[in-house]
Every structure is written in structure tokens, then in C-alpha cells.
């Protein structure tokens, strides 16, 4: 039990009180830079902020090893979702929640607090550890933008952990690849009362396309969603344009490709089915569809060093940790896309992205102990 639970809790509460919506991470970044420097780190901020239009970049810190071994990466994200301004953390027994009017921001300030406490403990107790590289990212919640803008060549570490998920017993080693889908349907505008027959409703074509589409859970490793629809100008105008945004995810590349092209095909089929005649012309809605890779899948084998270290750390600290699959995406997907071997360990956060979000302190402490022990496992024996 070498970490200090009360101190780690205080660190979390301090971080939770600092507003840090995506694109506005400056204040928390400066606070963290101060903490990391005080712990002896060589700390810099990168230029990702200007690349994504935010007020701060990703924070990097390097700590020289006191024992031998390959460098280990520890990462968490600094940004939070809304409503996340003016968070007032409330401690209730073995939990911390918000006052109910905002999220808590345990996603992912619990991860930040664990990393700071582990670094503090290593330093105070002069424990042997390998070189450690810390990356605190911006804009994870808005499409992993900070991680995507990272220059990974700055990192020496090839192995490590992202602390950004719920149960402390879950070490996520497999996650899906994701495609983003953006479709614009263009029809023809007309006065809806005077001459609707001259129009072609883009909204109707889009609705018919969605009605044909397989969405939601497709199978045990594939999901799909249309999340945003935007279009139309007035109730008395046949809408000539609507834009839809969605996604598909799968652990299997072939299934992902099939689902993405199925979604696009539904739009083309709906447009063909709704073609209208205007005099001698046949008019058909135009479909402009763009499918782009959002992130690649994550798939670590049981033999990956970080998996071995964490499982051994769990044994040593008598914690239960199991390798699992997730349907979610996080910064680890981006790191792994570049050939790093990064797993995602839970921190005790629950009901994230809601005003009912809370942090289970026992799990939060467990992950602190496991991460501290994991760094001991990573020291070359």
C-alpha cells in the first residue's frame, strides 16, 4: 500500500475543480506542468493546440530511470465533456460524485491523479523504476484529436498504459477500428404548399435510407450509428439538402468495410427509389458520401510486455485484473496505430458523460497500487 490514498484523492478533487472542456485545457495543463516539474520531470507542451484550434497542447514529461529497463509510457487525457464547468466534487463514503449539475470529470482526471501519485511515491520512496514518459493529451473527447496530433517520434517508450476506462479490474487490450461516415443528400427545393411536386425532399430520401439501414449492434464485434442530422431551411420549403454523420466500428476489418459500404449503399438505393419526373427530366437526389478511418483497432497479445507487467502487478498487490475487449475507442487506439503496445486500464470511474458520474475510491486506489507495482515489474531484473 505504498501510494497515499488520501493524497491521491485530494489531487483528484483539485483537478476536478479546474474547468477543462475540450479545446480549453490551458489552465489544467499549466497546473499539471507545475506538478510534473516539481516531481523532477523534464516537461514540455507540444503545438497540438494550434493544430486543432485549442488553447493548449499535449503535455509531455520525461523522468529518468532509477533502474534499468525500457521506457514506459503513462497517459491520460486532460479534457472533459459538457456540462463540465464549475464542477463541485462531493465525497460520499467511498465515492466521489458531482453535485448533480455537472459531470464529475473522473473521465479522465482520475487517470491524471493516479499518474501524479505514482510519480510522487516513486520519488519519495526512492523506488527503482525504468525511464517513464508521461503524456497528458488534449481533445480526447472530441475525436482523439490531441493524440492524433502527437509527434510520436518524441517518445522513446514502446509500451505502456492509458488510464481511461471504468472498472479497475478491466485491462482493455482489444478494441475496434472505427470509420466515420459523412453523407450529404441533395434534392431540390420548392414551395411546400404551392408546388411540392417540383421539389425533391432531401430529408425524405435520408429518412428512407436510414430506414433501410442496419444500425445499432450488428454482431458481437460490430456496431453502427447515425448520430447527427442537419438540414432544411423552413417548414414551408421542400428541403434540398441534409447532412448526416455517423460511424461504424468493428474488431474485424472485413466486417467494418462491409458495414460502412452497406450504409453508403442505403443512401444510393433510397435516392434511386425516390427519383421524380419534372417534365421530361428525371430528377434524382445526389449523394455525396465520405467514409474516413477514425482510428485503427487495438489488439495486444497476452505476451505484450505491458500485459505481463500489469498481470504480475495485480498478483503482487492481490488485485483482480483481467484482459478484456471494449467497444470503445480511446487514445490507446491512436498509440497502437503507430506500433506502440499500449493497454487501457480502468480507474474506478462510472456513469461517465452524465451528471450522475462518480468515482469508486476503492477501485481508484487499486489502480494506483497496480500502476506503481507495474513500474517495478518493468525494471529489468
Catalytic member of 24, 140, 141, 179: 140
CB of 175 to Zn ion, least distance (A): 13
Q: Does 294 bind Zn ion (CB under 5 A)?
A: no
State how far the Cα of 365 lies from the Cα of 315, in Å rounded to an integer: 15
* Min CB(81)–Zn ion separation in Å: 9
| Inter-helix orientation angle 361-377/5-16, to 10° | 110
Contact 275, 282 (CB under 8 A): yes
Q: In degrees rounded to 5, what are phi and psi of residue 121?
A: -65, -45
25, 117, 159, 164: which one binds Zn ion (CB under 5 A): 164
Which neighbouring-strand residues pair with 278?
Answer: 281
Half-sphere exposure of 122 (CA within 13 A, CB side): 28
Is 179 noted as a catalytic residue in this protein?
no
Nearer to Zn ion, 165 or 184 (CB): 165
Assess whether 140 carries a catalytic annotation. yes
**Integer Cα distance of 49 and 25 in angstroms:** 9
If binding is defined by CB under 5 A, does position 108 make contact with Zn ion? yes
User: Do residues 18 and 27 make contact, with C-beta atoms less than 8 angstroms apart?
Assistant: yes
The answer for 143, left when phi > 0, alpha when psi is -120 to 50, beta otherwise, is left
CB-wise, 107 or 159, nearer to Zn ion? Answer: 107
The region of 14-22, 56-64, 100-108, 261-269 touching Zn ion under the rule CB under 5 A is 100-108
With contacts defined by CB under 5 A, name the span among 163-171, 208-216, 224-232, 244-252 that binds Zn ion: 163-171
Residue whose CB is less far from Zn ion, 108 or 133:
108
Closest by CA to 204, choosing from 123, 273, 296, 299, is: 273
Nearer to Zn ion, 20 or 284 (CB): 20
- The mark string for 77-96 relative to Zn ion (x by CB under 5 A, - otherwise) is --------------------
Stretch that binds Zn ion, among 78-86, 164-172, 203-211, 367-375 (CB under 5 A): 164-172
| Minimum separation from the CB atom of position 164 to Zn ion (A) | 4
Total residues contacting Zn ion (rule CB under 5 A)?
3
Compute, in degrees rounded to 10, the torsion defined by CA atoms 91, 319, 121, 38: -60
Other Cβ atoms within 10 Å of 209 Cβ, number: 26
Task: Residue 20: count other Cβ atoms within 10 Å of its Cβ.
Answer: 28
Q: Does the protein bind Zn ion through residue 179 (CB under 5 A)?
A: no
Question: Which listed residue (107, 117, 294, 357) binds Zn ion by CB under 5 A?
Answer: 107
Which residues of this chain interact with Zn ion, rule CB under 5 A? 107-108, 164
Amino acid at each position: 500500500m505504498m501510494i497515499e490514498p488520501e493524497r491521491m484523492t485530494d489531487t483528484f478533487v483539485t483537478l476536478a475543480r479546474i474547468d477543462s472542456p475540450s479545446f480549453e485545457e490551458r489552465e489544467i495543463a499549466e497546473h499539471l506542468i507545475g506538478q510534473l516539474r516539481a516531481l523532477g520531470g523534464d516537461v514540455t507542451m507540444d503545438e497540438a493546440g494550434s493544430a486543432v484550434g485549442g488553447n493548449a497542447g499535449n503535455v509531455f514529461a520525461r523522468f529518468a530511470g532509477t533502474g534499468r529497463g525500457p521506457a514506459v509510457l503513462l497517459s491520460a487525457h486532460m479534457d472533459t465533456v459538457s456540462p463540465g464547468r464549475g464542477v463541485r466534487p462531493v465525497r460520499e463514503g467511498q465515492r466521489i460524485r458531482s453535485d448533480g449539475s455537472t459531470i464529475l470529470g473522473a473521465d479522465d482526471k482520475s487517470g491524471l491523479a493516479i499518474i501524479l501519485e505514482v510519480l510522487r511515491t516513486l520519488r519519495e520512496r526512492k523506488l527503482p523504476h525504468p525511464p517513464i514518459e508521461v503524456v497528458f493529451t488534449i481533445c480526447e473527447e472530441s475525436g482523439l484529436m490531441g493524440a492524433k496530433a502527437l509527434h510520436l517520434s518524441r517518445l522513446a517508450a514502446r509500451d505502456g498504459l492509458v488510464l481511461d476506462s471504468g472498472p479497475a479490474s478491466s485491462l482493455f487490450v482489444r478494441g475496434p477500428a472505427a470509420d466515420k461516415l459523412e453523407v450529404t443528400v441533395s434534392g431540390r427545393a420548392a414551395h411546400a404548399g404551392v408546388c411540392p411536386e417540383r421539389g425533391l425532399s432531401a430529408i425524405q430520401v435520408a429518412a428512407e435510407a436510414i430506414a433501410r439501414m442496419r444500425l445499432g449492434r450488428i454482431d458481437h464485434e460490430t456496431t453502427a450509428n447515425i448520430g447527427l442530422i442537419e438540414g432544411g431551411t423552413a417548414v414551408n420549403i421542400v428541403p434540398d439538402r441534409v447532412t448526416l454523420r455517423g460511424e461504424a466500428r468493428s474488431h474485424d476489418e472485413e466486417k467494418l468495410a462491409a458495414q460502412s459500404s452497406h450504409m453508403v449503399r442505403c443512401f444510393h438505393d433510397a435516392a434511386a427509389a425516390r427519383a421524380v419526373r419534372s417534365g421530361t427530366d428525371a430528377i434524382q437526389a445526389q449523394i455525396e458520401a465520405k467514409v474516413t478511418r477514425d482510428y485503427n483497432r487495438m489488439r495486444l497479445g497476452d505476451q505484450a510486455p505491458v500485459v505481463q507487467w500489469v498481470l504480475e502487478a495485480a498478483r503482487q498487490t492481490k488485485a483482480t485484473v483481467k484482459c478484456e475487449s471494449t467497444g470503445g475507442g480511446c487514445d490507446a487506439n491512436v498509440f497502437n496505430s503507430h506500433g506502440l503496445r499500449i493497454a487501457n486500464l480502468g480507474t474506478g470511474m462510472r456513469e461517465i458523460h452524465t451528471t450522475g458520474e462518480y468515482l469508486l475510491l476503492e477501485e481508484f486506489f487499486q489502480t494506483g497500487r497496480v500502476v506503481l507495482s507495474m513500474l517495478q515489474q518493468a525494471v529489468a531484473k
